[in-house]
Amino acid sequence: MRNNLNISIFGLGYVGLPLAIKLSNYFNVLGFDNNKQRIKELKSFLDKNNEVSSKQLKKSKLQYSTNIKDLKNSNIFIVTVPTPVTKSNQPDLKPLLIACKDIGKIISKGSVVVFESTVYPGVTEEICGPQIKKYSNLISGKDFYLGYSPERMNPGDKVHTVDKITKVVSGDCNKTVSILKKIYGKINSGKIFVAINIKTAEAAKVIENTQRDINVAFINEITKLFKKIDINIYDVLKTAQTKWNFLNFKPGFVGGHCIGVDPYYLAYLAKKKKIESNLILSGRKVNNNFPIFLAKYISNYISKKNKILVLGLTFKENVNDLRNTKVIDLIRSLKKKGHKIYVNDPYAYENEAKKMDLNLTSLSKKNKYDTIILAVAHNNYKKLNYSFFNKKLNKNGKIFDLKAIWRNKKFPKGIEYIIL
């Protein structure tokens, strides 16, 4: 392996760009993305994902390219491409395989290829390594080396950033691990945990999000139960949290590109190994059906066709990411029941919403509604006050607060406030 590190980052999305920016402070880093528009925006100091500021982009020494040949002088390749699922919820490794193919065409002896994308255990060594070998005619573990360092990005989180969290690293040999410790340790003050092997690191990543999915599924399921017996789930959770070891999970939508996807990778592996994955898939079923349950509950509660304002569309608060958002399932279910739906989201891009056949509405319009549904707890919505609800709701209007952010607010006379 070479002493001079020339690093290429494959994929400049939510994971790749923040990592590339931090690494470029210490190493020669080239950011590669096949999306020409994305590269054009970054060169103009614009990150539409809002993970990196214009100031950071201007200050950065990061170089950009859409031409794979520009990466031929690299000896460290860090792959951060997405790993989605197919329509049938099977692992879709196409982006990963394309990256491996591209790397295979330009890789030279002594290089290290590190994967950060979420996969099931075995993918790095059993699928990615052979794919690189196929296009390079080089042998893994001899001519080039493999590593895995799972990404732990939390979109919109400005506290647990890549330079502040513990980084897990793993490699096919001690030399690989040493070089990964050197690279990642440079940006996070040496907060490195070395996994015993690559499969262990892959497994740790995929269970992190699967565990969260299952925990939220439990809360969503008991929320449905407690609704039947007129108990407020947030009062129950507040009471239960007085015990020292109670896990603090809240009901809600489980979407996005990680938590709503990763369990399927684990379930796929279980099926492949002829192990039943009842719990994993049950959690997915509960969470996928939760928006449908809420739509039915709300529609039955208001009883007649309403003009409804839905606040929030993104998959989580304070981000513009609409990937796999479950709010759209709520909206579509309400539309099927005959309600007229209007959607506001200060973070979502209009063109992305239109792909879902939605036109975003501005809160500055003088429209009035029969019902308001708080679906995503954006900071902007937490500031809404008595005056807003008075202007926006018709007489005897209703508010469904799905995130319990307005519990302590006062509402106009005649307005009914319903907490999840």
pLDDT digits (tens, 9 = 90+) for 51-105: 999 999 999 999 999 999 999 999 999 999 999 999 999 999 999 999 999 999 9
What is the Cα–Cα distance from 111 to 126, expressed in whole angstroms? Answer: 18
- Percent of the chain with pLDDT strictly greater than 70: 99
DSSP label of 140: B
In contact, 118 and 262? CB cutoff 8 Å: yes
Torsion sign across C-alpha atoms 181, 185, 190, 196? negative
Calculate mean pLDDT across residues 309-329.
Answer: 95
Checking if the pLDDT of 188 tops 50, the result is yes
The string of pLDDT tens digits covering residues 379-416 is 999 999 999 999 999 999 999 999 999 999 999 999 99
Q: What is the residue type of 43?
A: K
Distances (CA, A) of 167 to 61, 159, 193, 274: 23, 15, 6, 32
Encode 221-260: b = buried (16+ Cβ within 10 Å), e = exposed: bebbebeeeeeebbeebeeeeeeeeeeeeebbbbbbbbbb
Q: CB neighbours (10 Å) of residue 394? A: 14
Q: How confident is the model over 244-252, as a mean pLDDT?
A: 94
Percent above pLDDT 90 for the chain: 91
SS3 151: coil
Does the pLDDT of residue 46 top 50, yes or no? yes
245 within 8 A of 239, measured Cβ to Cβ? no
Question: Residue 168: is it exposed, middle or buried by C-beta count within 10 angstroms (0-12/13-18/19+)?
Answer: buried
Other Cβ atoms less than 10 A from the Cβ of 53: the count is 12
| DSSP summary character for residue 360 | B
Please list the active-site residues. 258
Alpha-carbon distance of 227 to 318, in angstroms, equals: 28
Terminal-to-terminal C-alpha distance of the chain: 57
The sign of the CA dihedral 301, 305, 308, 314 is: positive
Domains within the chain, CATH numbers bracketed: 6-196 (3.40.50.720), 221-419 (3.40.50.720)
Residues 6 or more apart whose CB falls under 8 angstroms from that of 419 comprise 232, 234, 401, 404, 407
**Is the predicted pLDDT of residue 138 greater than 60, yes or no?**
yes
* Confidence band, pLDDT 50/70/90 cuts, at residue 1: very low
Q: Does pLDDT of 2 surpass 90?
A: no
Query: Whole-angstrom Cα distance, residue 111 to residue 251?
Result: 45
What's the confidence (pLDDT) of residue 159? 84
At 70, is the secondary structure helix, strand, or coil? helix
- What is residue 313's predicted lDDT score, i.e. its pLDDT? 97
Q: Which residues contact 325 (CB under 8 A, 6 or more apart)?
A: 253, 255, 256, 313, 314, 315
How far is CA 168 from each of CA 114, 116, 142, rounded to the nearest angstrom?
12, 10, 23
Distance between CA atoms of residues 4 and 376, nearest Å: 46
Question: pLDDT tens digits, residue range 190-214?
Answer: 999 999 999 999 999 999 999 999 9
Q: Which two tokens stand for residue 227?
A: 């609704």
